[in-house]
Amino acid sequence: MTSVSEGTPEQVSRHQVSTVLHRRPRLRLGLLIGPPMLWLGVAYLGALGALFITSLWGQNPFTGDVVREWNLDNFRLLFESEVYRTITIRTLGIAALVTVVDIVIAFPVALYMAKVASPRMQRILVIAVLTPLWASYLVKAYAWRIMLSENGVISDLGGLLGLDTPGYGLTATVVTLAYLWLPFMILPIYAGLERLPDSMLEASMDLGAKTGHTLRRVVLPAVFPAVVAGSIFTFSLSLGDYITVKIVGGANQMLGNVVYDNVGAANNLPFAAAVATIPVVIMLVYLAAARRTGALENV
Amino acid sequence: MTHRKVRWHRIVAACAAVTLVAACGTESSDDKDSAGGAGFEAPDLPQLEEIGDGEGEVNILAWPGYVEDGSTDPAVDWVTPFEEATGCQVNVKTFGTSDEAVNLVKTGEYDVVSASGDASLRLIAAGDVEPVNTDLIPNYADVYPFLKDRDWNSVDGQMYGVPHGYGANLLMYRTDVVEPAPTSWSAVFEEDSPYAGKVTAYDSPIYIADAALYLMEHEPDLGIENPYALDEDQLAAAVDLLKQQRELISEYWSDYLKEVQAFTTGDSVIGTTWQVIANVAQGEDVPVEVVLPEEGATGWSDTWMVMTESEHKNCAYLWLNHIISPEANAGVSEYFGEAPSNPKACDLASEGHCETYHAGEEDYAEQIWYWTTPVEQCLDGREDVKCTDYGAWTQAWTEVKG
Amino acid sequence: MTMSPAFKVTLRVLTGLALLVIYVPLLLVVLNSFNASQTFAWPPEDYTLEWWRKAVDSQGAKEAVVTSVQVALIASGISLVLGTMAAMALQRYRFFGRDTVSLLIILPIALPGIVTGIALNNAFRTVFGLDLGFLTIVVAHATFCIVTVFNNVLARLRRMGTNLEEASADLGASTFTTFRLVTFPMMRSALIAGGLLAFALSFDEIIVTTFTAGAQQQTLPIWIFNNLFRPNQAPVVNVVAVVLILLSVIPIWISQKLAGPTDGLAGR
């Protein structure tokens, strides 16, 4: 396109820049990686750092103003009260269960989409799975509130199958969260399965392996990183949720509620920040484990 | 393996570096003249002496339903007339709880706030709001006298805002399930309540006052004089009662929709409520009734306050005057469901509105303990003991819910 | 893949069941947008068009949709640029700290929204001295959207290799020309998929938004949140949700058009 000898000055200078860039890959790398890192480093890591600092400060309990005195009181309170341990364990349990439920539901759906459905059907299914993402989170959560209520949709329709609603509580919370985050699990697994060449599966079959065996020995290991990638979404989204549990969780509370109550409500940012370090640490450990599977590049 | 370790160390080091930089920039507000640990002293702030021309804009922080400009329902609009009359463009942000309001005030982006009593003192003490010169607000003269110069809206006789409206946290029950009709809060607090698993309660630390109010009557030995002034032992007793109640709770509610739904489906059959929630439920043909139990009740009385750092003070004062005008006060109190603060609003509100909400009935109003922020300095005048503050209540509330 | 017929049928049934579970609540929302009950009680006893009428009249809802679309467009735009840059850097270069970079990109989505929310809220107000508003929402959203673009583009780059780009360079094309005529067209569907996911993520985000929005801006989820708790308004929210589901056809249609028939959303 751009001619080397003739051209407008702009084109010439662009060409020079291009040449410089071509000769100096390090410069090119710097220009590529600089802006995103600057953005994330300043806007995000900086914010997280400031938050952590705040957790080491105190608060004037009446006015809610942050008092800049260094201390570990917030963390001491966090570790010494049993209630925060209970809430942490409950939250972890919910997040883990939601993830497992989503994997169990998503895997067959994704497998069907990637390896059984016709290309046309595949497209339709992808859209079908994505559509609920556009209905607002809150609206879906309230829909589940009506589904799960006493004499609600589940007891009415499920009654025919002998099902009854679990009522508002932890089960309802797990069900609703699993519903909300399901697309985030189906999509990566589907993408992972799609990448898996059919020839590999056929080779396994040709070698006489049964379907079950092929699934276990070939498919599962190959999509494992994709599953882990999906689980980062479901796990972390559940870990920080405080709205769903308010809507269908009965009298229960999760870590997100404690953070929210302390910052949005009691205006105690230092203590909220201290509580917030719990999910952060959990997620960092989770990410460190996920990294070994190579899942981070599949999110 | 070692290689990987080294890399993670570097990540940590990098984070630490960023953290330090951030710390240098983080501001705290401890330089403000705020209340010290010993109790509560209002910062010395000037009040406005005269109203000038409107600044063309006012940013309002309000309970949902307090500031309606017709965008939710064209028929519900008391903002447009104000905008047309004063030229002050109204921007509104709503909040769900008093505590959220306090948090939003701290952003310094707002000019006025409709604060309930459990927020107002905190705002006054922090210097976030300033004294209000009621002489500049003509409609103030009409307001019910029993709403003026109260604990939650004034300090030493200086008003910090104008009273907006008030209501009680009543006891609501399903008439088809709860028999006989309850007359006491015992149905929601006592272990042997026949409605275990179907009880609901308000989801906020301030609900501890409801338990304290109950103990005030039933455990006189505790010596509770004011449900918002609890020493450590009294708070512990209230927390124990609430933990006992926790076993009876189906769910805590914090918004009207959640509660109406729960009473409609029968997931909850008895619990604390606002009159407006009962009205909506009855409008839906749900068989519910409300009662003001014999122990009395907690309640709210909201105050419109002006931010110290407001850049639109003229518009703010104009808004304060407008919102307690008979027309706007009638519109708001009816839409939101509470008693108006201006008796003249009753002439404009629909038939029976003021009767339903017992507007102006002093003996009814006297049974209500209006939300007030608990502070270290006991509100009941005790000087030999320190009371528990709102921070302690928040921690206690987390513990109650478990 | 050659699976046993019985296994295929099982998969088909399971997929059907999953879709049923996915769509029953959505159907309930549609039904409730006509439910005469103000609190959408089940079972509906009477039906009405009142909520649809109210929704049409609701200026607040329309303004909120416009705000949300603007936020989502700008945020996905920013994340398209930043995400592509990061992906190209990571795929084409080996350098010290590569792992840190990919961790940093994932972090905003991997940490719970409430943590991101309060961290950004605190930083905007105290460290940067910004007033919460349109800008802060966009910055917050772009931050957690980068990852969707990054991953889509990275996967595509890995698959397409560098042969064509090298050929282009050998034929004398400049860096920019190569990008415009070779790299970009090959990445197009990945960009669309990533951008669309970013758009969707931003459009329905409520937790981070709660903490980064100011008084003047209401994104749609915030509007919904406020209106659910307002007497007489809750059912209108159902109408809005139904409209959104219907409107979601538009971005999906655009993506199919732009990316070609075989690619689209799944074009990883």
Predicted local distance difference test score (pLDDT) of residue B174:
95
* Structural tokens at position A166: 């679990």
Q: Which residue of C39, C115, C228 to mutate against A (max A Cβ within 10 Å)? A: C115
Predicted local distance difference test score (pLDDT) of residue C91:
80
- In angstroms, rounded to a whole number, what is the distance separating the alpha carbons of residues B260 and B270? 11
pLDDT tens for the 299 residues of chain A, in order:
444 445 566 665 666 766 766 677 778 788 888 888 888 888 889 889 988 888 888 776 656 667 777 888 888 888 888 899 999 999 999 999 999 999 999 999 999 998 888 888 888 898 888 888 888 888 899 899 988 888 888 887 777 777 777 888 899 999 999 999 999 899 889 988 887 777 777 776 666 667 777 777 778 888 888 898 889 889 999 998 999 999 999 889 999 998 888 876 566 788 888 999 999 999 999 988 888 776 666 55
- In angstroms, rounded to a whole number, what is the distance separating the alpha carbons of residues A278 and C249? 40
CA atoms within 13 A on the CB side of A208: 0
Predicted local distance difference test score (pLDDT) of residue B304:
96
| pLDDT tens figures, B208-243 | 999 999 999 999 999 999 999 999 999 999 999 999
Q: Which residue of C39, C130, C207, C229 to mutate against B (max B Cβ within 10 Å)? A: C39
Residue that the structure tokens 């060409």 belong to: A15
B-facing residues of A in 209-228 (CB < 8 A) are none
A57, closest residue in chain B (CA to CA): B28
Is residue C191 assigned to a domain? yes
Selecting from A33, A105, A133 the residue whose C-beta is nearest the C-beta of C204 gives A133
- CA distances (Å), A284 to each of A236, C107, C108, C110, in order? 11, 9, 12, 9
Query: Does residue A29 sit in the same domain as residue A153?
Result: no
Interface residue B373 vs chain A (CB under 8 A): yes
Prediction ipTM score: 0.85
* Structural tokens at position B183: 């007359």
Interface residue A4 vs chain B (CB under 8 A): no
Helices A82-115/A220-239 angle, 10° precision: 140
- In angstroms, rounded to a whole number, what is the distance separating the alpha carbons of residues A52 and A281? 12
Selecting from A135, A232, A291 the residue whose C-beta is nearest the C-beta of C26 gives A135
- In angstroms, rounded to a whole number, what is the distance separating the alpha carbons of residues A144 and B329? 37
Predicted local distance difference test score (pLDDT) of residue C16:
93
* Interface touch B64/C234, C-beta < 8 Å: no
Q: Which residue of A52, A53, A60 to mutate against B (max B Cβ within 10 Å)? A: A60
| φ, ψ at C164 (rounded to 5°) | -65, -40
* Interface touch C229/B96, C-beta < 8 Å: yes
Is residue A64 assigned to a domain? no
* Interface touch B35/A60, C-beta < 8 Å: yes
Helix, strand, coil in percent for chain B, rounding step 5: 40, 15, 45
Is residue A134 assigned to a domain? yes
Predicted local distance difference test score (pLDDT) of residue A245:
93
Rg (CA), chain C: 22
Is residue A124 assigned to a domain? yes
The helix/strand count (H/E) of chain C reads as 13, 0
CATH number of B57-165+301-363: 3.40.190.10
Neighbouring chains of C at 3+ CB pairs within 8 Å? A, B
CATH number of B170-273+376-401: 3.40.190.10
Interface residue C169 vs chain A (CB under 8 A): yes
Q: Structural domain tally of chain C?
A: 1
B-facing residues of A in 154-193 (CB < 8 A) are 167-168
Beta bridge partner(s), residue B155: B158
CA distance C71 to chain A (A): 15
Query: Does residue A274 sit in the same domain as residue A242?
Result: yes
> Residue C188 maps to which CATH number?
1.10.3720.10
Q: Which residue has the higher pLDDT, B306 or A221?
A: B306
> C63 contacts in B (CB within 8 Å)?
71
Interface residue B41 vs chain A (CB under 8 A): no
Residue that the structure tokens 């609701």 belong to: C58
Q: Structural domain tally of chain A?
A: 2
- In angstroms, rounded to a whole number, what is the distance separating the alpha carbons of residues A170 and A155? 18
A62, closest residue in chain B (CA to CA): B122
Helix, strand, coil in percent for chain C, rounding step 5: 75, 0, 25
Is residue C5 assigned to a domain? no
Residue C212 belongs to domain spanning:
52-266
Q: Which residue of A70, A259, A267, A268 to mutate against B (max B Cβ within 10 Å)? A: A267
* Interface touch C216/B27, C-beta < 8 Å: no
Is residue A234 assigned to a domain? yes
Burial tier of B177 (Cβ tally within 10 Å: 0-12, 13-18, 19+): middle
Residue A17 belongs to domain spanning:
9-55
- Domains of chain B, by residue range, sit at 57-165+301-363, 170-273+376-401
* Structural tokens at position C146: 């980068």
Predicted local distance difference test score (pLDDT) of residue A30:
81
Segments in chain A forming alpha helices (H) = 9-23, 25-38, 46-55, 73-80, 82-115, 119-130, 137-148, 153-158, 170-195, 198-206, 211-214, 220-239, 244-248, 255-260, 269-292
Q: Which residue has the higher pLDDT, B317 or C181?
A: B317
Answer yes or no: is pLDDT of B27 > 60: no
Query: Does residue A48 sit in the same domain as residue A130?
Result: no
Query: Does residue A144 sit in the same domain as residue A14?
Result: no
Predicted local distance difference test score (pLDDT) of residue A209:
65
* Interface touch C268/A191, C-beta < 8 Å: yes
- In angstroms, rounded to a whole number, what is the distance separating the alpha carbons of residues B393 and B227? 12
CA distance A132 to chain B (A): 23
Answer yes or no: is pLDDT of B111 > 90: yes
- In angstroms, rounded to a whole number, what is the distance separating the alpha carbons of residues B292 and B297? 7
| φ, ψ at B36 (rounded to 5°) | -80, -170
Mean pLDDT along residues B116-145? 90
Is residue C22 assigned to a domain? no
